[in-house]
Amino acid sequence: MREKLKSIVPESLIAWVRGVQSSLKLRSETIHQMRRFRRNYAKRGSMRKAHLETRIIFFTHQIEKGLSHRDFRFGFGKGVLAQFAPLLAALCNVDTQYANNEIFQSAICALHEYRTRHERNGYDLAYMRCLFSDDLWNEIGQAQGHVGGVLTIKAADKTHNAELTYSQLSQARHSVREFSDEPVGAEDIEQAVAIAMRTPSVCNRQPTRVHIITNADLIAKLMPLQGGFRGYKMPPALILLTADNQAFMNQDERNEGYTDGGLFGMSLLLALEEQQLAACPLNTMLPMKRDEATRKLLNLPDSEFLVMYIAVGHFLPEVETCMSKRFDAESIVTVHA
């Protein structure tokens, strides 16, 4: 019967019916996805342990970014510290093993570097001291180890990148936000893009699109819209990765572009590292107005959506960057045997 109906009903009508069904399903599943996210994301004020840890990682990163600035500004981050202190106190209350919590340790080490750098230079930290309990202040003062703060990146260490194994190259790569004044040409980046083209994608449909921006005026307009590069000199070059929705076939694939674009982004970051180019991935989780302003500046097709930026430049002889301590692999693995 089904085959007989197919032979009678025009393909155009079948396509229209399937389109209506797909639209209804897209709406329903998007709402379901939204509700799941709303139930679980780390809302401000939540005392759930995982939520506290998420926000502590975020603020640790903010402190590390400030510490890594070449043009260091004493007294930075007062607003960050004001939110940071109660989060650490709350984590101590909900986690009886907080002293062994690697997120807590990383935060304390970053704050230790903040404190000692200011104290060595005679900077008054009264504003910081009043935020933390005596116990936490002592923890910060006595912190040891290298799981938070900054590390130094040297251009001289990058000269043999092309000879490294994948594991070595991956370990050597760090996000760098400050670059030399040497210009970066589109052709330099295109070499790395050619390497990244081996990145897998759903059914080999390859939705990722690469926009290379070397116009200084355009970069200066785009970066404030991105919002995460404040306080840094503009990068010599900027890459925007997008995904083209025309590569997808039904509502179930609505998020696939982020997966494929993210995979491509990691391949590209490693390829840039191999080419001895410094880089830093930057998110494009923009409010609608800034998203639309970005699209207008770059004249992006309606079918493309933003996946991520990558700031690119040549390495300085020496620069500091965030420690960004990673979890141990076993802490994120669940084995289903």
d(CA 252, CA 149): 41
Is the per-residue pLDDT at 140 higher than 70? yes
- What DSSP designation does 197 have? T
Rounded CA gap, 226 and 215, in Å? 16
- pLDDT digit string (tens) for 65-95? 999 999 999 999 999 999 999 999 999 999 9
Residue 153 phi/psi, 5-degree rounding, is -110, 130
pTM greater than 0.85? yes
Q: What is the pLDDT of residue 4?
A: 66
Render pLDDT for 213-253 as a digit per residue (tens, 0 to 9). 999 999 999 999 999 998 899 999 999 999 999 999 999 99
Predicted confidence (pLDDT) at residue 3 exceeds the cutoff of 80: no
* b/e 286-324 (16+ beta carbons within 10 angstroms → b): beeebbebbbeebebeeebbbbbbbbbbbbbeebbbbbb
Greater pLDDT, 278 or 145: 278
Question: Does the pLDDT of residue 309 top 70, yes or no?
Answer: yes
The domains of the chain, with CATH numbers, are: 49-148 (no CATH), 153-321 (3.40.109.10)
